[in-house]
Structure 1
Amino acid sequence: MMKKNIIYLSLLALAGLSFIKDPAKVELRATKVNTPFNMPAVIVPDFKKCQKIPITDFGAEQGNKEKTTKAIAAAIDKANRLNGGTVIIPPGEWLTGKIHFKSNVNLHVSKGAVLLFSEKPEDYLPAVHSTWEGMECMNYSPLIYAYQCKNIAISGEGELKAKMEVWKQWFTRPKAHMESIRRLYNLASAYTPVTERQMVNDTAHLRPQFILFNRCENVLLEGVKITNSPFWTIHPYLCKNVTIRKVNVYAHGHNNDGVDPEMSQNVLIEDCTFDQGDDAIAIKSGRNPEGWRLKTPSKNIVVRNCTVKNGHQLLAIGSELSGGIENVLLQNCRVLEGAKLFHLIFIKTNERMGGYVRHIYAENISSGKIDQGILGIETNVLYQWKNLVPTVEVRLTPIKDIFLNKVTAGELKFISHIAGEEKLPVQNVSLKKVTASHVLDQPYIHEHVVGFTTDN
């Protein structure tokens, strides 16, 4: 038998093939989360037993974008072939272009390492299957992109950083840009195939996300610092089982949300710090026909033990929510004193969205001064779309079962401002032990609400 094995190995070597003895596969572990709704355990990939693959083994050089980009891709290929591997980014600054994941890969950014992403748009071509504000399209590749991957992770104590020289010039929305997003809206409304929604041109300037997990399963993002972003920072899209843990995000550009779970399910966001130019957490589920077409609600999402230094909202729901949003728990979070914040929780939709919002829970939340209030619910939020495109089909959004418990804030204008639809009032909103140190206006400003209760 030993002789046969030796002959077999020799034949493999002669054929130029590598022989791997019992390669370690990714292990899957379950995280059970206690929630007021029925939520399955979140499946988390574990790469502890997998081979470590330094990018320097494939020719990565600090300051050499081309060599480093190719080396990272080659290391990812090897980890994927092994059915589980950890790609190591060593200490130092590594200039790179786009990174595309494959299944069973952990990108580990070591302590003292900085992955610095190029500012050149051409480095993010060819266009990939992406999304822009709730509409699918072919756009510039996100800086880190995973499409239909399973068991993937980004880990470590290092930093992911975007160079912003070009992207920040694209923050403005000139007429040519607005015409391009009007075109995309009309393509989506006509159910045009995504491959025909090409948005990479001289006028669209649709900035890519920093990280987009598109249609992925069993995703872990842990430990890293993320600095700057062209657009939304972390975007799990049509994903299942997503864990985002101990991540520190700083991004103060236009549309720089921290995390945007969209049409994703079984999501745990915990022990993170957000310093944002937009919402810290923004839960979404597609815009208009896109959400109706994909029919996938955002569901079973827990945000706990997080800190917000700045942002528009601690938690935003919408305005893209045509696929529906349900079963959300915001727990044990705080907004630091001196932070710039509009609301703690803001639910926003309009007459074009449809979808639904239900079973939203928040407990043990604290904040300093807030520009607006603790809870805002508005049903006529259209932003730039108000005059850009007409209402083709009216679909109102049922909103019900909103529960806040043990929420405190400093000075603000109101405790809750709810503007429901006359034809479809907001239903069943409960505030218990929800207080502020000083209310400048009225504590409760409500229109078209059925079943509001408070213990104050």
Structure 2
Amino acid sequence: MKKFILCTSLILILTLFSFKIDPPKVTQKETKVTAPFGITTIKTPDFSKCASFIITDFGAIKGDKEKTSQAIAKAIDQANKAGGGNVIIPEGEWITGKIHFKSNVNLHLNKGALLLFSDNPNDYLPAVHSTWEGLECYNYSPLIYAYKCENIAITGEGGIKAKMDFWQKWAGRPQGHMQSLKRLYNLSGQNVPVEQRVMVNDTANLRPQFIQFNRSKNILLDGFSITNSPFWTVHMYLSKDIIVRKLNIYAHGHNNDGFDPEMSQNILVENVTFDQGDDAIAVKSGRNPEGWRSKTPTKNLIIRNCTIKNGHQLLAVGSELSGGIENVFIDNCEVLDGAKMYHLVFIKTNERMGGYVKNIYVQNIKGSKMDLGILGIDTDVLYQWKNLVPTVERRLTPISDVYLTNVTAKEVKFISKIKGEKELPIKNIFLKNVTAESMLGTEKNINENVINFKME
């Protein structure tokens, strides 16, 4: 009898050990942020209890682009299959091609780690569903790309860097590039399926974004540094529930905006340092029919405690805003001396955009010398599109409810310069304690076609 009990117990123990114990999966945490337009709740992933997948275990070798690229892809696949995992980039420089996310993955950059991205366009093929200046197309893959993913993150004290030798050659606007833009604009206007808008050829030269998370949700970017970018640096497109925190962004190439949320919602940007060749934060929502069809505004965007070393604008709204932009709150940010900046806040649109802008709140901002002024609103900004294509459908942009409170700059030409349309005046612009130490122009406020402008 004792032998029977002993054998039965042994069988039970062996049976228990034979069961596979699943590793912890990714969880979510909620962050609630209070703004003048209410409380925004943002869900982001928590990978603290998830397993780690070190890329060297999957064959990554320093200096070997192909093996490192393959290793990262394999590690991402395994983390995804585990239901949540941290893909670890160890200390040192690792050259790679494109990185494509899958759901439930955290790309973690250890301290001293650097992912160096190739500037060979062939490394970013095949083409993926992406965008160019508010128009959807199939283009070279963004260097880091996610499509229809959830619970994704990039974290850690390391960095990512783009090699730029080749991309810089594409930064101009030669005839082939302009004709490709015209073709893409017309394809979008004719509602041609995106799969047929393939913009990868010898002359289009549509540079990819560095990071684009496309149609994704529950996103965290935390702690790492970004150096250089072929195009827009961090682009969130048709995505929601996003936190961008403690990044250090340096990108001084052409069109190097720092952060571009487009048709995206429920976003917190905090404690980020921007050093840009273009706008620090550029809020967008699609160009012309693209934005009209989606009917998805960018909304509930909170930006706080950020430092700007350089950039055309601290906050730009537009010019791609056809889907609408509402509920933007920027608080307690500083532009450092020496920044090359046009405005602190610039809202820009044109007669083709439609959309709308409302509920923009800016408070507790310290600016340095502005080439132009503190607030600019211009309804006739077309850039390269002005002579490239005609106005096919005229849609003006209603702009209203813009609030600036406790905003200072050291030197400006004006406090505000607002150019509204006579047919559709801009409404409800309120400036309270908005000042400059020195003003070079003769008029503080140069306003045209504005209803209910108040300055205290």
Q: Which residue of 1 aligns with 2:4?
A: none
Tell me the C-alpha RMSD between the 2 structures: 1.2
Checking the alignment, whether the CA contact within 8 Å between 1:39 and 1:266 is kept in structure 2 is no
Cα distance change of structure 1 residues 2 and 290 upon mapping to structure 2, 3 Å threshold: farther
Determine helix, strand or coil for the equivalent of 1:329.
Answer: strand
Aligned residues: 447
- For residue 368 of structure 1, report the CA deviation from its aligned partner: 1.1
Checking the alignment, whether the CA contact within 8 Å between 2:34 and 2:40 is kept in structure 1 is no
Within a 5 Å distance, the mapping from 1:40-439 to structure 2 comes to 40-439=40-439
- For residue 320 of structure 1, report the CA deviation from its aligned partner: 0.1
Cα distance change of structure 1 residues 347 and 20 upon mapping to structure 2, 3 Å threshold: farther
Deviations along 1:301-335, one digit per CA (max 9) or x if unpaired, are 00100000000000000000000000000100000
- For residue 20 of structure 1, report the CA deviation from its aligned partner: 4.5
Checking the alignment, whether the CA contact within 8 Å between 1:373 and 1:416 is kept in structure 2 is yes
Deviations along 1:330-353, one digit per CA (max 9) or x if unpaired, are 100000011100000000000000
- For residue 224 of structure 1, report the CA deviation from its aligned partner: 0.6
Checking the alignment, whether the CA contact within 8 Å between 1:55 and 1:89 is kept in structure 2 is yes
- For residue 22 of structure 1, report the CA deviation from its aligned partner: 2.9
Deviations along 1:146-165, one digit per CA (max 9) or x if unpaired, are 00000000000101000001
Q: Partner amino acid for 2:379?
A: T
State the distance in 2 between where 1:20 and 1:289 align. Answer: 52
Determine helix, strand or coil for the equivalent of 2:21.
Answer: coil
Cα distance change of structure 1 residues 429 and 64 upon mapping to structure 2, 3 Å threshold: same
Instruction: Mark the runs of 5 or more structure 2 residues left unpaired by the alignment.
Output: 1-8
Runs of 4 or more off by more than 4 Å in structure 1? 4-10
TM-score (norm 2): 0.96
State the distance in 1 between where 2:91 and 2:388 align. Answer: 47
Determine helix, strand or coil for the equivalent of 1:423.
Answer: coil
- For residue 39 of structure 1, report the CA deviation from its aligned partner: 3.6
Q: Partner amino acid for 2:444?
A: P
TM-score (norm 1): 0.96
State the distance in 1 between where 2:330 and 2:10 align. Answer: 60
Cα distance change of structure 1 residues 448 and 114 upon mapping to structure 2, 3 Å threshold: same
- For residue 258 of structure 1, report the CA deviation from its aligned partner: 0.1
Q: Partner amino acid for 2:53?
A: I
State the distance in 2 between where 1:62 and 1:78 align. Answer: 21
Instruction: Mark the runs of 5 or more structure 1 residues left unpaired by the alignment.
Output: 11-18
State the distance in 2 between where 1:241 and 1:189 align. Answer: 30
Q: Which residue of 2 aligns with 1:450?
A: 451
The percentage of counterpart residues that share the same residue type is: 65
Cα distance change of structure 1 residues 449 and 73 upon mapping to structure 2, 3 Å threshold: same
Deviations along 1:408-455, one digit per CA (max 9) or x if unpaired, are 001110000000000000000000000001111111000000000011
State the distance in 1 between where 2:312 and 2:115 align. Answer: 28
Larger radius of gyration: 2
Deviations along 1:352-375, one digit per CA (max 9) or x if unpaired, are 000000000000000111000000
State the distance in 2 between where 1:340 and 1:104 align. Answer: 39
Q: Partner amino acid for 2:64?
A: N
Checking the alignment, whether the CA contact within 8 Å between 1:44 and 1:241 is kept in structure 2 is yes
Q: Which residue of 1 aligns with 2:27?
A: 27
Q: Which residue of 1 aligns with 2:3?
A: none
State the distance in 1 between where 2:161 and 2:282 align. Answer: 21
Q: Partner amino acid for 2:333?
A: C
